[in-house]
Structure 1
Amino acid sequence: MTERAGATDYDVLVVGFGPTGAVAAGQLGRLGHRTLVIDRLTAVYDKPRAIALDHEIFRHFDNMGLAEAISPFVEPFTASEHFGVDGQLIRRIDMVAKPYPLGYTPSMVFSQPAVEAELRRHATSFSNVRVELGVELLDLVQTPDRVEARLKDGDGWHRSVTARYVIGCDGAASTVRQIAGLDLEDLIFDEPWLVVDVRVKESALARLPRCSAQFCNPSRPVSFLIGPNNHRRWEIMLLPGEDARQMERPDNVWKLLSPWLTPNDGELWRAASYRFHALVATDWRSGKILIAGDAAHQQPPFIGQGMCQGLRDATNLVWKLDRVLKGLSSDSLLDSYTVERKQHVIELTGKIKAIGQSICERDLAAARRRDAQVLADGGGKPLLVTRQEIIPPLRAGCLASRETPARGSLFPQPRVASGGTVRLLDGVTGSGWRLFVDGCSNDAAAMLSLGALCPDISATAVAPAGTSRPNALEETEDVLASWFARHGVIAAIVRPDHYVFGTARNPAELDGLLRDVDARLRDVPAMRDKISDPKMERTP
């Protein structure tokens, strides 16, 4: 063994430079933290794996300043039409209608190699982020205030670095998870599938379905996805007795694609067999070691949420880690990471499993009963579902201690008139802790005054289109006005990851929420104990 002398100290060591690791590193870099990223591979994988993202994730990309760079590789996701045993349409999964609640197309497809390259470029643009490729993690040893990481460089040299925290974004076979002793729970889904990506010739595109599709045929279930440009994907269930590696061979792949294409119709980009699993880590933290992305969970791909889940992990974790590293919150804030993300993953995976099990039904009689039930659920017509209603809110964690309307849901992002132009709300207010007030409320001024007393939170009033109110932004499509009305509230406190901490109907309720924010962010037991005392003065 060849050893390099000395150890370098960082705030955070990110293990894995895929999308989750790259987003975590880019956000940590923007926040000023000394970050080391390592990956045992030396380049972006040049084949597509993830293919879908949603408006929540694109909102974070926009917050990071990446929307313009990534947009050329992103297109709207078509509706997904589900066809039953006899080829009849039984269900349609589509997007919510305009005006879009977060300001972007709600569901999108993208080219992973190109987008991942932009995520890496962004992370490496910060002088406080160091990226080392071809570097393998050997071991992690925790001390009271640091983690020592033993690394092996590409040239065989061994060395140590230390970091205040480690984030393992190193995939399903995560070395970080194994070293930290974090076990996986089986959510009971295990199916063999073949994933095929084709660059289809222009002349053959017209023969393919115009929407993405699920062919729920018990003889062999198949998913068809329309990717950007001429990229088309088939996910084909493998049958008992079929050898996964043999089915990846081009001659076998083209046989499976023969209902749609011939070898002359396109270029076989990738054919890879997978077992679609549903797994989640029991705990996502061991001291100063945390895991994210596929290291923490794996789910079937049926509504395209695999990468989205990993990027939710990164964004959830980084704003909390930022506060802890800056001494603004205690280390115990990080405990909410597992609480929030694990429950969200389990709930969403349950919905994905239900869709997947419906698609994967192999018994003919059961499949016919499924078709009849889905049509009955739609009132005798194909059932219409939006992808957005499938995504659950946060149920527990760093949220208001009292249940309030919309608590744990994603806060909308209206377009607002600002400086003679129309901009998305985040571009005007930023993406930290924010208080938003209904600018038409009689209590708006009192609400804003309360918000000004809390140094962690910026306060903004937003008024509906056509209602010029002093000291209020004016939205153009009444997205937020409708949201306030629907939930019966006039104020919302929103976290940096855009989840609603809590809502209020009047100044007294808002005052309680602001005390609650103080208690949860600062983790002061005395404050928490007195939260219900209206005479207590707020800690500055």
Structure 2
Amino acid sequence: MRTVPVLIVGAGPTGLTAATLLAQYGVECLVLDRWESIYPQPRAVALDDEVHRILARLGLRDAFAAISRPHRGLRLLDRNMRVLAEFPRGTAPGRHGYPQGSMFDQPELEAILRRNLQRFGTVTLRGNAEVTALTQDSGGVRVDVTDTTTGEQGSVRAAYVLGCDGANSLTRASIGATMRDLGFTQRWLVIDVATEADLGQWEGVHQLSDPARAGTYLRIGRTRYRWEFRLAPGETADDYRDMARLHPLIARWTGDLPVAELEIIRVAEYTFRAQVADRWRDRRVFLLGDAAHLSPPFIGQGLCAGLRDAMNLAWKLAGVLGGTLAETVLDTYQIERGQHVRAMIKLARLIGTAMTAGGEWGNVIRRAVAPRLHLVPGLTDLATDSRTPPLRRSDLVVRPRLRRGLAGGLCPNAIVDGDRRFDDMAAGRFAIVTSIEPSTALRADIERRGAVLIIARPGSALHRWLGAARAAVVRPDGAVLRADRRLLPRTIGAVRPVGG
């Protein structure tokens, strides 16, 4: 029986990201997926700059830029396509050096993730491999696998298993975890269309607030367009699989474009849910991505949450396997990610409800209120700023209980030296960011611990970010472990060598 340190169930974006991050630390992984190759249908279509930053960390900065389009913001429309409110995003890169939002085609994203993974000899990816059972003991996990082409059965033993196997996760069932409902269930029609024609529409997300048929429109590529419409009771996707029936739904955006120039890529029914698993870990088995949580798509955070899971867990697991971190650090995974993902799901649920609830009365209220939303102080920034909440307190997020600080938030990927940004210098290690020139002894201690020292010069973006703090410990995933008003031995003592 083959033995590996980490076995990953599922080769979607979350599983591939986790495998790549672990490979960067030299951890051997086996990735098993029930499909032979990339699932061909587009699903996720949006991500923010925090997650764009993760893709850059994988080595995909330029490759992702080549397949994506900047997301220009949000526009609210009434049933007559009148603009009720608009929240535009500028064209300049955000605080992390990337567009605050990007649109893409998921099969293209998975293709570049797979090609990139081939650079690492420590990772094996097997398709047509369906995991049928997981059995844990004190020393590891036995994973039973069936070859879907030959029917041949076999087993693999792993020290740890990461379940990245989606909404119908066998991994989740194997650890006895259940999904807890957060109070949102709606049936929607999802439509992907290709055309060489330019529809001439504003290149942001269009939210149609129509009590008869709420909808969403966005351009996801040079020739790809996405629509989503709420289904009425009794309707199914089968009612809209031919263009003759589908066209009346999308004609408000396609205008006089001949039907013959529109190619249906996919018409599918999705039930949008807001759910979070009650536990994400059982001893050596972890849940990531849709196996752990499901979000309505209204703020484009479904795929983002899965990649954040991988980023949060991979460095901790690498440190445990490498013997530099105690296994107890793995307890911080759900503590940190669970609260964050709940906050994002609740925001998506709020947006979805605001867009679809109330029938005709809701429509009257939206028409009256929406055009004045830009007058509310801070609301435009809230609608367009891609920043997400800080992580909650844990053994790896040290912050005061009664006041806010830098701990738990992300260190900006600011330019530090010439055209080198923070992530280029940190390169997956702990970093000490400080506005204080450390003594020779402190410098030696930082170097001994395998951390990177980054001096925040006066007037620089990092100096402004530090604010009242004079030093911050930044984890390998970019989150701040702690911040202090002085560069103290205890500040440096929070650093752990992870690898990289």
> TM-score by structure 1 length?
0.85
Q: 2:484 is matched with which residue: 495, 504, 515? A: 504
Match in the other structure for 2:360: 364
Q: 1:224 is matched with which residue: 209, 212, 217? A: 217
Percentage of pairs with the same residue: 32
Match in the other structure for 1:427: 424
1:435-474 alignment to 2 at 5 Å? 435-438=432-435, 441=436, 444-445=438-439, 449=443, 452=446, 455-464=449-458
Q: Secondary structure at the match of 1:258?
A: helix
CA distance 1:450–1:376, change in 2 (3 Å) = farther
Match in the other structure for 1:181: 176
Indicate conservation of the 8 Å contact 1:90/1:382, yes or no. no
C-alpha separation in 2, matches of 1:263 and 1:236 = 19
1:356-435 alignment to 2 at 5 Å? 356-379=352-375, 384=380, 385-388=382-385, 391-397=388-394, 398-402=396-400, 405-418=405-418, 422-435=419-432
Larger Rg: 1
CA offset digits 1:188-209 (Å, max 9, x no partner): 111111111111332x522x34
Match in the other structure for 2:228: 235
Shift, 1:447, TM fit: 9.9
Indicate conservation of the 8 Å contact 1:436/1:460, yes or no. yes
Shift, 1:265, TM fit: 3.5
1:452-531 alignment to 2 at 5 Å? 452=446, 455-464=449-458, 478-485=460-467, 488-507=468-487, 510-516=488-494
C-alpha separation in 2, matches of 1:115 and 1:24 = 15
Note the residue ranges of structure 1 that are not aligned, 5 or more in a row: 1-6, 466-477, 523-540
1:351 equivalent in alignment to 2:347: yes
Letter in 2 for 1:394: L
Shift, 1:59, TM fit: 1.4
Indicate conservation of the 8 Å contact 2:410/2:480, yes or no. yes
Q: 1:68 is matched with which residue: 62, 67, 76? A: 62
CA distance 1:444–1:47, change in 2 (3 Å) = same
Q: 2:94 is matched with which residue: 100, 103, 114? A: 100
Q: Which moved more, 1:141-150 or 1:399-408?
A: 399-408
Number of aligned residues:
490
Q: Secondary structure at the match of 2:228?
A: strand
C-alpha separation in 2, matches of 1:382 and 1:434 = 32
Q: Secondary structure at the match of 2:188?
A: strand
CA distance 1:375–1:511, change in 2 (3 Å) = farther
C-alpha separation in 2, matches of 1:234 and 1:457 = 46
C-alpha separation in 2, matches of 1:380 and 1:416 = 35
1:74-93 alignment to 2 at 5 Å? 74-84=68-78, 87-93=81-87
CA distance 1:464–1:135, change in 2 (3 Å) = same
Q: 2:44 is matched with which residue: 36, 50, 54? A: 50
Letter in 2 for 1:436: V
CA offset digits 1:391-449 (Å, max 9, x no partner): 2111222211535612111101112334xxx22222233221110112xx5x6558954
1:114 equivalent in alignment to 2:108: yes
C-alpha separation in 2, matches of 1:332 and 1:381 = 43
C-alpha separation in 2, matches of 1:239 and 1:481 = 53
Indicate conservation of the 8 Å contact 2:451/2:495, yes or no. no
C-alpha separation in 2, matches of 1:66 and 1:294 = 23
Match in the other structure for 1:22: 16
> TM-score by structure 2 length?
0.91
C-alpha RMSD of the superposition: 2.5
Q: 2:280 is matched with which residue: 281, 284, 293? A: 284
Indicate conservation of the 8 Å contact 2:192/2:264, yes or no. yes
Q: Secondary structure at the match of 1:463?
A: coil
CA distance 1:450–1:356, change in 2 (3 Å) = farther
Shift, 1:362, TM fit: 4.5
Letter in 2 for 1:392: P
Shift, 1:55, TM fit: 1.4
Shift, 1:390, TM fit: 6.0
Shift, 1:297, TM fit: 0.6
Match in the other structure for 1:194: 189
C-alpha separation in 2, matches of 1:13 and 1:177 = 15
Letter in 1 for 2:210: N
C-alpha separation in 1, matches of 2:64 and 2:79 = 39
CA distance 1:381–1:280, change in 2 (3 Å) = closer
Match in the other structure for 2:318: 322
Q: Secondary structure at the match of 1:253?
A: helix
